[in-house]
Amino acid sequence: MRIPTKSGAEKAPIPPDEIVRRFSAQEDAYARALGNYTYRRTVRLEELGPDGRPAGQSEVVSEIVVGDDGSRRQRPVSRSDSTLHVLELEPDALEALGRMATFPFGESQVSDYNFVYQAAEPVTT
């Protein structure tokens, strides 16, 4: 779906600056909390067959650990044998995907962007 470049005629239910402020405050809280936890991360790639069901997969499980010096590192836990049929991956490709960092969008970054409220759209399920 293409996002229009001109703002919609509809007025924001909350002032756009307040929407951005609340969102970025939540992201700052997320970034602070993330440093207090360790967790397991599973990266799974599945191929679907013509019937829409999984036909092959490859999976890597790693965990984030905190070292004695406080640094955070990813440690491999397990790796499944690949049963992919169409896609060929290098052995460490899924591990590389798992190393992608999260980038919270905090208050310190807001001034680097120009936000324009476009309009509200109802969400249907």
pLDDT at 125 over 80: no
Report the side by side order of strands in the sheet with 54-66.
39-48, 54-66, 72-79
Quickly list H helices, the chain: 16-34, 93-98, 107-110
* Cα gap 91→76, rounded to integer Å: 13
Q: With beta carbons less than 8 A apart as the criterion, state whether 7 and 117 touch.
A: yes
* Cα gap 42→79, rounded to integer Å: 10
- Across 32-36, 81-85, 96-100, 120-124, the highest mean pLDDT is recorded for 81-85
pLDDT at 121 over 80: no
Residues 27-71 have pLDDT tens digits of: 888 888 877 788 888 989 999 999 989 899 999 898 988 888 878
Q: With beta carbons less than 8 A apart as the criterion, state whether 35 and 64 touch.
A: no
User: Residue 46's pLDDT is what?
Assistant: 93
Q: Which of 36-40, 49-53, 94-98, 99-103 has the lowest mean pLDDT?
A: 99-103
pLDDT at 97 over 70: yes
> Between these two residues, 1 and 75, which has the higher pLDDT value?
75
pTM over 0.75: no
Average pLDDT for the chain: 81
Q: Which of 5-14, 48-57, 76-85, 101-110 has the lowest mean pLDDT?
A: 5-14
